[in-house]
Amino acid sequence: MLDPSADELREWGNSVIQFMADYLGDLRDRNVYRRMSSREIRQRLDSALPINGSDFDALLNIFRDNIIPFSRQNAHPRMFGYVQSPGTPVAAFADLLASTLNANLTVWRSAPAPVELERLTIDWVRQILGFNAEAGGLFVSGGSMANLAAIAAARQAKDCSSGRLRIYASSETHFSVAKAAALLGIGRENVRHVAVDEHFRIRVDDLFAKITADLEAGYVPFCIVANAGTVNTGAVDPFEEIRKVADRFQLWMHVDGSYGAFAVLAKSARKLFAGIERADSIALDPHKWLYLPVDVGCVIYRAPEIARAAFAHEAEYTRIIGEEADEAFAFWDYGPELSRRFRALKVWMLLKGVGLDSLAEAIESNLACARHLESIVQASDDFEMAAPVELSIFCFRYVPVRLRNESSQAIDAFNERLLVALQRDGSSYLSNATLGGRFALRGCVLNYRTTLRDMETLLDDLRRVAKSLPVSAQTHNASNLTRE
Ligand SMILES: Cc1ncc(COP(=O)(O)O)c(C=O)c1O
């Protein structure tokens, strides 16, 4: 098992590929989710510390019988929860190849061709966004890590010896920004939440007022975080106006584009992203809207040498001896990790294999699905939208005749129970958002398999599941099912 022969490898490979083809072949007929408990799953797994090995087929059988059915089927076309990509077969093969080579992308000499492939692929991402030619960056585990790296670089750019640092971001900003501030010692409380307008975009007048008030109070503003697609509603902040504010106060402008930035590829959304290329840094997640499997996030810096000042660390055991500048390149100078897997391979295989035109088409089709949902909700007499659709996220509520005269708390409570019932039913999967203090059903189309018909099926599923729910209930425990 530790070192199989070539024949054994072929046999294992054939079984795995057969299994993969079967799984993806009947994905649409599976439930996205099923009711299950931690205890049930643990009972199915043999918990004894394995002293002797098993054969490969036995492992694959356990995966088929005890892992797959007790997982959420993230590649299902009606998996609308959170910001979940489906993955793609070409990237699954890339992951297999990356692990086979087991390149470790620390510095150029450790993995010359993989490092060049990462630099090339990062440059393609830079071009997609329209950043200047000097911009550069690296792949990280995800959006949270990309936000952390960018905020560390932003701090480096500011002389912070004279007072408490402050970051500004809309109240809709993902919690990873506050978490980064906490981890970097800036403090969660120094992330100032700026008000949003009726489209959930940052209000630039409030941004300006908060920075001015902080300066007067002796704080040190250093960074504005703009959103290219908020996690709740997909709102895209006005980058050109934010750039002006950042320039006026000499602040770093970071964009969290983890969910939405790749929608710049879609013609119908492109104008929303005007000015994104003038940010000082951007966090992106190819494992979201480039449909790749976790984990691959990405951070791009407009001036990478500032990031270098934040991350470079000289130690004797990492000193690079006898190399020219290009070959002395070290990724550890630009991000928090030392050992790094070959994430670039799946990004490269996807971009080169699928091509930008087809990816743009898939993203455009996701946008069309969300807009279709909005239009059928607006045309219905039992659903209402809770926020405008900006990209591919849709927030809405079920308000049939029997609920019309109920209080908004009762309607919210009903929708919360409806969400749990929908998830347990399994045909479609949504998550939730709180908007203006009210509960909303929330979905995000992030799958090239999803069709307009799936959006109609979602509403039919909700109506069907709602039939069995009374208008009010004494107890419910939605919270642990809706959390991710
Ligand atoms: C807007 C936004 N930022 C950051 C993140 C965090 O990304 P990750 O889960 O890759 O760490 C998410 C995740 O959904 C997100 O939607």
For 78-133, how does the pLDDT look when each residue is reduced to its tens digit (9 = 90+)? 999 999 999 999 999 999 999 999 999 999 999 999 999 999 999 999 999 999 99
* Tokens read off for 163: 């007072």
pLDDT tens across the length of the chain (484 residues) = 999 999 999 999 999 999 999 999 999 999 999 989 999 999 999 889 999 999 999 999 999 999 999 999 999 999 999 999 999 999 999 999 999 999 999 999 999 999 999 999 999 999 999 999 999 999 999 999 999 999 999 999 987 777 899 999 999 999 999 999 999 999 999 999 999 999 999 999 999 999 999 999 999 999 999 999 999 999 999 999 999 999 999 999 999 999 999 999 999 999 999 999 999 999 999 999 999 999 999 999 999 999 999 998 876 666 666 667 788 889 999 999 999 999 999 999 999 999 999 999 999 999 999 999 999 999 999 999 999 999 999 999 999 999 999 999 999 999 999 999 999 999 999 999 999 999 999 999 999 999 999 999 999 999 999 999 988 876 444 444 455 5
Pocket test of ligand 1: the residue of 74, 177, 285 to mutate, having most ligand atoms within 8 Å of its CB, is 285
Q: What is the pLDDT of residue 483?
A: 55
* Tokens read off for 421: 């019932």
Q: In 3D, which of 253, 262, 257 has the Cα closest to residue 128?
A: 262
Q: What is the pLDDT of residue 480?
A: 44
Which helix (H) or strand (E) element contains residue 220? strand 220-227
**Rounded CA gap, 146 and 124, in Å?**
17
Q: Is 176 close to ligand 1, i.e. is its CB under 6 Å away?
A: yes
Q: In 3D, which of 465, 282, 366 has the Cα closest to residue 84?
A: 366
Q: What residue's CA is closest to ligand 1, atom 7?
A: 143
Q: Is 143 close to ligand 1, i.e. is its CB under 6 Å away?
A: yes
Which helix (H) or strand (E) element contains residue 374? helix 356-379
Separation of CA 416 and ligand 1 centre (Å): 23
Q: What is the pLDDT of residue 472?
A: 82
What burial class does residue 224 get, using C-beta atoms within 10 Å of its C-beta: 0-12 exposed, 13-18 middle, 19+ buried?
buried
Q: Is 333 close to ligand 1, i.e. is its CB under 6 Å away?
A: no
**Rounded CA gap, 171 and 407, in Å?**
26
Q: Is 259 close to ligand 1, i.e. is its CB under 6 Å away?
A: yes
What burial class does residue 69 get, using C-beta atoms within 10 Å of its C-beta: 0-12 exposed, 13-18 middle, 19+ buried?
middle
Separation of CA 449 and ligand 1 centre (Å): 22
DSSP 244-290: HHHHHHT-EEEEEETTTGGGGGSGGGGGGGTTGGGSSEEEE-HHHHT
Q: Which residue has the tokens 């797994």?
A: 45
Q: Which ligand 1 atom sits closest to the C-alpha of 257?
A: 1
Separation of CA 147 and ligand 1 centre (Å): 9
**Rounded CA gap, 58 and 438, in Å?**
49
Q: Which ligand 1 atom sits closest to the C-alpha of 141?
A: 10
Q: Which ligand 1 atom sits closest to the C-alpha of 288?
A: 10
Q: What residue's CA is closest to ligand 1, atom 5?
A: 143
Separation of CA 468 and ligand 1 centre (Å): 35
Pocket test of ligand 1: the residue of 144, 201, 262 to mutate, having most ligand atoms within 8 Å of its CB, is 144
Q: In 3D, which of 392, 358, 353 has the Cα closest to residue 373?
A: 392
* Tokens read off for 5: 């022969």
Cα-based distances in Å from 42 to 67, 73, 284 = 11, 19, 35
**Rounded CA gap, 201 and 171, in Å?**
9
Q: What is the pLDDT of residue 479?
A: 47
358-369, pLDDT tens digit by residue? 999 999 999 999
Q: What is the pLDDT of residue 321?
A: 66
What burial class does residue 123 get, using C-beta atoms within 10 Å of its C-beta: 0-12 exposed, 13-18 middle, 19+ buried?
middle
- The CA angle 433-434-435, to the nearest 5 degrees, is 110
Q: What is the pLDDT of residue 476?
A: 47
Q: Is 258 close to ligand 1, i.e. is its CB under 6 Å away?
A: yes
Q: In 3D, which of 131, 91, 139, 134 has the Cα closest to residue 114?
A: 139
Q: Is 142 close to ligand 1, i.e. is its CB under 6 Å away?
A: yes
Are 481 and 430 in contact by the 8 Å Cβ rule? The answer is no
Separation of CA 142 and ligand 1 centre (Å): 7
Q: Is 83 close to ligand 1, i.e. is its CB under 6 Å away?
A: yes
pTM of the model: 0.95
| Sheet hosting strand 220-227, strand order edge to edge | 136-140, 297-301, 281-284, 252-257, 220-227, 165-170, 191-194
**Rounded CA gap, 19 and 89, in Å?**
12
Q: Is 297 close to ligand 1, i.e. is its CB under 6 Å away?
A: yes
Sequence-distant (≥ 6) Cβ neighbours of residue 121 within 8 angstroms: 139, 344, 347, 348, 351
**Rounded CA gap, 387 and 363, in Å?**
21
**Rounded CA gap, 182 and 177, in Å?**
9
DSSP 343-366: THHHHHHHHHHH-HHHHHHHHHHH
Separation of CA 47 and ligand 1 centre (Å): 33
Q: What residue's CA is closest to ligand 1, atom 4?
A: 143
Cα-only R_g, the chain: 24
Q: What is the pLDDT of residue 471?
A: 87
